[in-house]
Amino acid sequence: MAITLDSAGLPVDEQARNALLTEFRSRVGHLVEGLRGIDAEKGDGDVSTSYRYAPVPAACPLCSEQLDLQNVHIDTENGALASAVCTSDQCDWSSDAVYRIIDFESSESDAFESSVLTGDIEPSYHPY
């Protein structure tokens, strides 16, 4: 479960912002505790003030062995596809791997700067 709150107008002062985020985490935790079938104590509650991305491991979903990614094809929108084949001799799993552009990083010398973190671009979120 993810809760996203855009343009919340958080306090600039770090101490005040952290206090607000702690209170928010606590209040959401209390709301979740009352829902049937959800164990808030076992959940991993996190409140952050940044964008997030959701990577999946390059491991076979059946046997957890490493995947061999082949034939990367750039699509006409925002990503690419590749053939993903399990490297295990005992597993014959294969599928398409889906890629999406999640950020642009510019560099000066050895430092990289994220376009998302600087606010130059804003990511969008889509449910599966």
CATH number of domain containing 88: 2.20.25
Stated pTM of the model: 0.61
* pLDDT winner (highest mean) among 1-10, 20-29, 98-107, 118-127: 98-107
Q: What range does the domain containing 65 cover?
A: 53-103
Same domain, 57 and 78: yes
Q: Is the pLDDT of residue 114 over 80?
A: yes
Is residue 91 in some structural domain? Answer: yes
Q: Is the pLDDT of residue 93 over 90?
A: yes
Is residue 27 in some structural domain? Answer: yes
* pLDDT score of 52: 78
Domain count of the chain? Answer: 2
Is residue 117 in some structural domain? Answer: no
**Helix, coil or strand: residue 80:** strand
Same domain, 61 and 98: yes
| Alpha carbon separation from 86 to 41, 54, 95 (Å, rounded) | 36, 21, 9
Is residue 42 in some structural domain? Answer: yes
Q: Which of 4-18, 30-44, 77-91, 99-113 has the lowest mean pLDDT?
A: 30-44
> Quick one: what percent of the chain has pLDDT higher than 70?
91
* pLDDT score of 43: 61
Q: Kindly report, residue by residue over 23-68, the tens digit of the pLDDT.
A: 888 888 777 776 776 766 666 667 777 777 788 999 999 999 999 9
Count the helix, strand and coil residues of the chain and give each as a percent rounded to the nearest 5: 15, 25, 60
**CA 118/CA 110 separation, integer angstroms:** 17
